Every structure is written in C-alpha cells, then in structure tokens.
Amino acid sequence: MTDILGIIGLNRYARNYFKADIAGKRFVSFDLESNDEYEFKHFKSKRDFNREVQYGFLSNNGDNFLYKFSDKNKQIFPFNTSLGWNQKIYKESLKERTFGVNFNEWGFEYTNLISKANDIYGNTATFGSPALKLKTNYHRLGFVYDTKKMKDKKFESDHYFRINVGFGKKIYRDVKNTPTNALDDKYIRGNDYTTFGFLYRYENDAKPRYLADVEDEDKKIEEIDLGSLDTKELETQIQNSNTVKDSNTQKFFSIEKYK
C-alpha cells in the first residue's frame, strides 16, 4: 500500500506502507514516512523522517512472536542568515532508534536517543559557522507485560505494566565567558545521569456485569409515567440506572512516575 500526499500548503508529506502475509501465520511490514515543513517557499524549517519494520509469526503452539525496529528523525533548520547560519545545516536534531521483541504478553525494548544542538561561535562579522553546542546520548532498557496479548486469557480486563531504566551522557561546549572568541573554547563531558520509569494502565471494556438487569431497568423506566413522579423520585430512578450501567465499564486508568 502506498499513500503519497504532495505539497499541502507549504508542507510536503509522503508515506509508503507495505505489508505481506504468509499463510496467515507470518507477516512483514515496512512503513516509511516523511514530512517537510516550509516557513517560506524556499526555506525548509523542519523535517521529520520515520521508518519502521515489523516481522511477526504465530507458532504451531499458538504463541505470538513480534520483532520491531523503528527509526525516528527530526531536524530543525535556522532562518536568520545574517549571523552566519546556513539554512541547509540543521540547528537542532533528534534521532530515536528502538528495537523491540515480544513473546505473547512479555516484551523487551531498547531505545537509543541522540540529540544535537548547533550554535554560532567566532569573532568574524558572521560569528563563524554553525558548530556543535550540546550533544546528549541516552540509552533506555524497558520490560513490558501486556495482558491484551496473552495466549490463553481467562479474564476480560486488560493490564499493562512497563518498567524502564535509562542512562546517558552529555557533551557541551564551554565558551569560557568569551562567546566571540572560539579559540579558547573546549568540549566538556558532563556527568552521567540515570532515570527510572514505571507505567501501569488498566482497561476494562467488558459489558455491564448485570446486563439483563440493566435491560429490565430500562424497560421499567420506559413504562413509568415520569409525569407522575416528583423531582426527587425522578433523579433517584435515573441515578440508579446510570450506576448499574457504569459499574463495570471503566475505560482507562494510568499511573506514571519518573525520577
């Protein structure tokens, strides 16, 4: 499947998607997407380029395996050329690569996130040329448990757990309080940093536990002459009906904490 949208206003968007199934037990898919945003006709202000590859198969025992690789890229370009900026060299960039493996409800993910920022240094009329200002390199390992993908699921609600740990380094340019003199600048490796994350999500799309009772209540309400009830009795009838309907239909609940 190919979906390409040309220039929309001042943006250019394109997407190509391909998927092949083999005997209903194996599949492979490719998803390529790019989006260029133009501030003006000949000035590209931002570019996004993403690609994803998936391969999955179902074993003879009914076990599901899924392998996934994704590569997401974002670049932001400068506009002010009077200070020496080159509009063809990005001012900021972000690259995120993720590899994941799933076996039924169990999953593992590894993510590498690299961000870069450029700036202008020097003492010439144009302050030199764009050079690296800050770079971060972040690695994250995550473990996932998702009951939606269970092999033999015996309950209707869904639970999603994810625990991850990350670590990274920073490299930045020290201008030593002389931003117009690039000769005394040097790059310094910042302190290592570590992050921990936990996510739990609960979903329940099951029908009301007492569906038959709900239907009976609805019929009774329809048969009741609402005009014969006072305001308090009418509110009680409606509240009782809504309480039964909503007793087992909680859609979404999420807790997330990072430090």
Secondary structure (DSSP) of 149-162: G-SS---S-EEEEE
Tokens for 28, please give them.
């492979």
Q: What are 170-197's pLDDT values in tens digits?
A: 998 888 877 777 777 888 887 778 899 9
Greatest C-alpha distance within the chain: 90
Closest CA to 67 of 26, 33, 95: 26
23 and 36 Cβ atoms separated by less than 8 Å: no
Q: Encode pLDDT of 125-178 as tens digits.
A: 667 778 889 999 999 999 999 988 888 878 778 888 999 999 999 998 888 877
Beta partners for 47? 36, 75
Residue type, 191: N
Residue closest to 225 by CA, chosen among 215, 237, 214: 237
Question: Tokens 């493996």 belong to which residue?
Answer: 101
How many CB atoms neighbour CB 9 within 10 A? 7
